[in-house]
Structure 1
Amino acid sequence: MIKEWKNIEQKKLAPVYLIIGVEDYIINQTKEKLLHAALKDEELEFNYANFDLEDTPIEAVIEEAETLPFFGEKRLVIASNPVFLTSEKAKGKLEHRTEKLEQYLNEPVDYSILCFVVHAEKLDERKKLTKLLKKQAVVIEAKRPSEAELLKWIQTEAEQNGFQMEQTAIKRLAELTSGNLTTAMNELSKLMLYQFESKLISVQDVETLVVRSLEQNIFLLIDKIIALDTEGALRVYYDLLKQKEEPIKIIALVASQFRLMNQLRILEQSGTGAQQAAGILKVHPFRAKMAAKQARGFRKEELEFALFHLAETDYELKTGFGEKTQKLEWFLFKLEDFRKTKKGLKFGPFLTNKKHHRVVMFSLIT
C-alpha cells in the first residue's frame, strides 16, 4: 500500500504533491483521498480546480493556487500532464512560464494543496525544475506492482472491507486481470458486491464473475494448444469471434505471444530470469511470467514451426488470400499434427516468392 496515504487520511496534508506513474488506480485513489481530506462537499465548487497542462499554462495554475479559499480553509489544485518535467515534446504550441512555478515551490502558500500528476514512468532528472519539485513535494509513486505486491493489494483491500478471500481466489483474480491493479480492483469491487452477505470470496466466484480480457483469452487458447486440446482452443476462438473480435487481431495476438515465448526461452537458456527478461523485452512482468510458463510446454522446433506458420497466415490475411475466419483453424490443425507426429519443419511452395520469404523469416525471429 502507499505509505503517504495514511498521512492524507489523517489530514496531515503537505502543500505540494507529485504523483508519478502509469497505474491509474493509485493515481485516482490519491486524488480522491486528497479531495476527501482537504475539502467538504459544499466547498468543492469554490475551492477545487483540476487543470490539464496541455491546455492551460502553468502560470494560471499558480494563480489559482495563490487565490485565497472561498468559504473554507483549504484550496485543492490538481495539474495533470506537466510535459515540461519530462523528456517528451509538448503536443501543442502552449508555452509555460516555469519560473512562476519555481518561485511558488520556494515559497508555497499554506492554504492551498497543489498536486501534479505525471502519467509517465519517470521524469527528466536533468532539469533543475524537476529536482526542485521532487525536493519540495511529497512524491507518490503510481508504479505497476510486482506479482507479490499485486496479491498483497488484493488481499488488503478485501480485508479492509471485512471480506475473507481464499489464496487461490486472490491468485486467480490476479491472473484473469493480467496483473493490472486497476482492473483487479474494479473486479474485486464487483466480487464484494456479489458476496456482500457472506463476506467470503471463493475461486469459483472469481471464475464465474470476472470478465476475461482479450489477452486472457489468448492465454487460455494457448493453454489449450499446449494440452493438445484443439477443440477447446477452437471454442475460445469462436467465442472471440462472437464478441466481434477481428480474426487478424486475434492471430496477431497469438503470434505476439508465441514470439514472446520464443524470446523468453532464448533468454532463459542464457540464464536470464523472467523478471529480468520482462525488463529487457519491455513487457509486463506478469505477462512474462505467464509466457515463460507456457513456453515450457513447447519444444524449440514447435515454437519455430508455430512462428513460421503464423507469419505465413498473417501474410495471407493481409494479401486477402482465403477465408479469414478459417486461417486460425488451419494453423491449429497444422500445429496439432506437427506436435503429434514430431515432423521436421516443412516449408511450403509459398517460399518461391522471395519477398514473402523475407517477410516470414523476419516475423519468425523478431
Structure 2
Amino acid sequence: MDAKAAAKAVKQGEVSPVYLLYGSEKYQLNEFLTFLENQLITKEDRDFALIHMDLSEIPIQAVIEEAETVPFMVQRKLILVRDAAIFTAGKESAKIEHRTESLLEYLDNPADYSVIVFIVSNEKLDERKKIVKAVKKAGTALSFTPLGGDDLLKWVEKQALQQHCSFEPGAAEVLVRNAGTSLQNLAGEVNKLCLYAGNGGSISAAVVNQLVSRSTEQSVFALVEDIANLRLDQALSIFYELLKQREEPIKIAALITRQFRIILQVKTLSRQSYSQQQIASQLGLHPYAVKIAGEQARKFETARLENILNYMGEMDYKMKSGAMDKVLGLELFILRLGV
C-alpha cells in the first residue's frame, strides 16, 4: 500500500491500529502525519489526544502502556513515536531496553481507541525482524522515497495549481534545476513564484531564473549541462559568477569532477539494464539527478568521460601543488571540451 491508498482508506474510516512510516522523503512523510492528525483528531482535542514519544528516551513498553490506557476526555488518541530504530538493522541504544514482545502482544489485540504511528528515519526496514513482519500484517507500513524525474515535475506543477497559478512549458524543470530536488525547498519556491504571478497567473522560465537563485551545487550542475551541450560561453559565465560569489576554484573543480563521475556511472549502469530507480538506489542519488545524468551521458562516449576524469585528476594535483593557476586551469578545461 502507498500513501495515497492509505489516505483514501483513512477517509473511508478504515484506520489501522499501527502505522510504520519510513524513508528519506521527509516532506511527504510529514504531510501524511499532518493528514492523520487532521483526520483523526479535532483541534479542540489535541491537548489530550495527540501524544509525542521518542524511543531514544523511553522503552517500547511505555508506548504500549500509553496505547492501552483509556484516553481522558477524548474518544481517540494519536501516539506519534519517533526514532523507532527497533525496526531497522542499525544498533539500538544500549541505555534503553526495548522489550519488543510487548508490541507483538499488543498487535494481537490492539486498543480501538489508540492509533500508534512509528516514524523511522532510515530508508529501509529490517525485514527479518518479527516486529516488522507483525506490523505489516496487523497495521500499515508506508515507504516515502524520493519522487522520480517525471513525478517530481508533476508534483511541482500540482503544487502551483493548488495555489491557482501554473508553470509555462519547461519552467517547472528550470525550477528543479535551480532549486534542487528537496520538496521542502521546492514548496517554498513555488509559493514565492505564485505570489509573484498572482491568482490565475503563469510562471515562465525567465521568471524562475529571475527569482530563484541557484546553490553552488546547482550552479555546477548547470555548468556541466552547458558543457554537455557545448554552450561554452554560458558555462564560462556560470564559472565567473561562482568566482564572484567567492567560491574556491578547487571546490568548483571537485564538484565538476563529481558530476562527470556520476554521468559515467549512470552510463555504465544503464548499459547493464538498470532502471532509473535502481541506479538512484545504487549510487545514493535522487532519481531526478539520475534522469538528467542519463540525458547528459548520451552526449559523451565512455572513453571521453574517462579521459575527462583522468584530466580532472591531474589538474586537481597541479592546482593543489601550485603547478597550475587555479582559475586559468578551469578556464582551459572548459575551453578544451569544445575542441
Shorter-normalised TM range: 0.7 to 0.9
1:145 to partner: Cα distance: 1.8
Give the counterpart letter for 1:18 in structure 2. L
Superposed CA deviations along residues 162-190 of structure 1, whole A, max 9, x for unmatched, are: 33333423333344444443433332232
Q: Equivalent residues in 2 for 1:300-311 (5 A)?
A: 300-311=302-313
| 2:335 paired residue number | 336
Whichever residue aligns with residue 42 of structure 2, its letter is K
Give me the whole-angstrom Cα distance separating, in 2, the residues matched to 1:53 and 1:207: 44
| Partner secondary structure for residue 170 of structure 2 | helix
Report the CA distance shift for 1:100/1:274 in structure 2 as closer, same or farther (over 3 A).
closer
The residue number in structure 2 matching 1:99 is: 101
SS for the counterpart of 2:116 is strand
Distance 1:111 1:256 in 2: 52
User: TM-score with structure 1 length normalisation?
Assistant: 0.80
Aligned to 1:88: 90
SS of aligned partner of 1:50 = strand
- 1:300 & 1:122 partners in 2: Cα distance? 33
Cα distance in 2 between the residues matched to 1:273 and 1:119: 25
Give the 3-state SS of the residue equivalent to 1:216 in structure 2. Answer: helix
| Cα-to-partner distance string for 1:80-137 (whole Å, 9 max, x where unaligned) | 2211111111255322111222222222212222101122222111111110011111
Q: What's the TM-score, normalizing by structure 2?
A: 0.85
Q: Is the 8 A contact 1:234 1:329 kept in 2?
A: no
Report the counterpart of residue 131 of structure 2 in structure 1: 129
Post-superposition Cα deviations, 1:302-329, rounded to whole Å, max 9, x if no partner, equal 4233212321233345xx52399x5254
Deviates most, 298-307 or 50-59: 298-307
Give RMSD over aligned pairs.
2.9
Q: Select between 284-293 and 17-26 the one with higher mean Cα deviation.
A: 284-293
Q: Deviation of residue 45 (structure 1)?
A: 2.6
Q: Distance in 2 between matches of 1:245 and 1:92?
A: 43
Question: Which of structures 1 and 2 has the larger relative contact order (alpha carbons within 8 angstroms, sep 6+)?
Answer: 2
Structure 1 counterpart of 2:116: 114
What is the alpha-carbon distance in structure 2 between the residues aligned to residue 336 and residue 115 of structure 1?
A: 55
Aligned pair in 2 of structure 1 residues 271, 91: CA closer, same or farther (>3 Å)?
same
Distance 1:177 1:217 in 2: 10
Contact 1:11 1:37 in 2 (8 A): no
Aligned with residue 78 of structure 2, among 76, 79, 84: 76
Q: 1:226 to 1:338 in 2, by over 3 A?
A: closer
Matched letter for residue 326 of structure 2: K
Contact 1:76/1:113 (<8 A) preserved? yes
Instruction: Find the aligned partners of 1:38 and 1:271 in 2 and give their Cα distance.
Output: 44
- The answer to whether 1:253 aligns with 2:255 is yes
Kindly, what percent of the aligned residue pairs are identical? 37
Structure 2: gaps (5+ residues) = none
Structural mapping, 1:1-366, within 5 Å: 2-9=4-11, 12-243=14-245, 245-269=247-271, 276-316=278-318, 320-322=320-322, 326-327=325-326, 329-337=328-336, 339-340=338-339
